[in-house]
Amino acid sequence: MSVDPIDLGAELEAWRARARRFAQEEIVPRVDEAEATETFPRELFARAGAAGLIGSHYPVAAGGGGADLRAAMVIREEFSYRSVGISSGLGHQDHVGTAYLQRFGSAAQHEAWLGPALAGTYVIAMAITEPDAGSDVRRIRTTARPTSSGWVLSGRKTYITNGPLADAIALTARIAGTDRFGVFLVERGDRGFACERKLSKLGCRSSEVGELVFDDVEVSDERRLSPEGGSPLDDILKVLVIGRLLVAASALGLGRRAIDLALARAATRETFGRPLLRRQEISAMLAHATTALRAAELLSYHAAAIAVDRGDVPILECSQAKLLAAETAVEITDRMLRVFGGVGYLDDAEIARLYRDARFFTIVEGTAEIQHRIIASRLDPTLDPEPSTVGSRPTARRKTRI
Ligand SMILES: Cc1cc2nc3c(=O)[nH]c(=O)nc-3n(C[C@H](O)[C@H](O)[C@H](O)COP(=O)(O)OP(=O)(O)OC[C@H]3O[C@@H](n4cnc5c(N)ncnc54)[C@H](O)[C@@H]3O)c2cc1C
Clarify whether residues 190 and 64 are in a common domain.
no
Give the CATH number, domain containing residue 157: 2.40.110.10
Residue 43 belongs to domain with CATH number: 1.10.540.10
CA distances from 381 to 30, 138, 385, 386 (A): 48, 22, 9, 12
Instruction: Domain count for the chain, please give it.
Output: 3
Task: Kindly give, in sequence order, each residue whose CB lies less than 8 Å from that of residue 318, ignoring residues fewer than 6 positions away.
Answer: 241, 242, 244, 245, 303, 307, 391
The residue from 223, 258, 287 where one domain ends is 223
For the segment 124-146, what is each residue's pLDDT rounded down to a tens digit? 999 999 999 999 999 999 999 99
Residues 208 and 242 in one domain: no
Query: Is there a contact between 193 and 166 (Cβ–Cβ < 8 Å)?
Result: no
- Per-residue pLDDT tens digits for 63-113: 999 999 999 999 999 999 999 999 999 999 999 999 999 999 999 999 999
Range of the domain at 298: 232-379
Looking at the structure, tell me whether residues 264 and 373 fall in a common domain. yes
Our answer to whether residue 369 is catalytic in this structure is no
**Do residue 189 and residue 238 come from a single domain?**
no
CB-CB contact of 131 with 158 (8 Å): yes
Query: CA 140 to CA 156: how far, in whole Å?
Result: 10
Looking at residues 46-52, what average pLDDT do you find?
A: 98
pLDDT at 388: 46
DSSP letter (8 states) at residue 224: B
Give 298's contacts (C-beta < 8 A, 6+ positions apart). 6
CA separation for the pair 366, 136 (Å, rounded): 10
Residues 57, 36 share a domain: yes
The reply to whether 248 falls in a domain is: yes
Last residue of a domain, one of 61, 89, 119: 119
pLDDT at position 93 is 98
- Check whether residue 160 and residue 249 sit in a common domain: no
What residues does 247 pair with on adjacent strands?
Answer: none
Q: What are phi and psi of 178, to 5 degrees?
A: -130, 180
Among candidates 160, 289, 208, which has minimal Cα distance to 34? 208
Contacts of 118 (CB under 8 A, 6+ apart): 49, 54, 55, 58, 62, 63, 64, 98
Indicate if 115 and 130 belong to the same structural domain. no
Nearest CA to ligand 1 atom 30: 134
Q: How far is the CA of 90 from the centre of ligand 1 (A)?
A: 20
Q: Residues 194, 269: one domain?
A: no
Ligand 1 atom having least distance to the Cα of 201: 1
Residue 360: per-residue pLDDT: 97
Are 183 and 201 found together in one domain? Answer: yes
Secondary structure letter of residue 144 according to DSSP: E
Q: How far is the C-alpha of 298 from the C-alpha of 293, rounded, in Å?
A: 9
Residues 6+ apart with CB under 8 A from 341: 269
241 and 360 co-located in one domain: yes
Residue 381 above 80 pLDDT?
no
Q: Report how far ligand 1's centroid is from the alpha carbon of 291 (Å).
A: 29
* Whether residue 95 is found in the same domain as residue 163: no
Domain for residue 318, yes or no?
Answer: yes
Residues 160 and 179 in one domain: yes
Per-residue pLDDT tens over the stretch 258-284: 999 999 999 999 999 999 999 999 999
Nearest to 266 by CA among 289, 293, 296: 289
Ligand 1 binding site (Cβ under 6 Å of any ligand atom): 92, 125-129, 134-135, 159-161, 201, 204, 209, 360, 363-364, 367, 369-370, 373, 386
The residue whose CA has the least distance to atom 44 of ligand 1 is 369
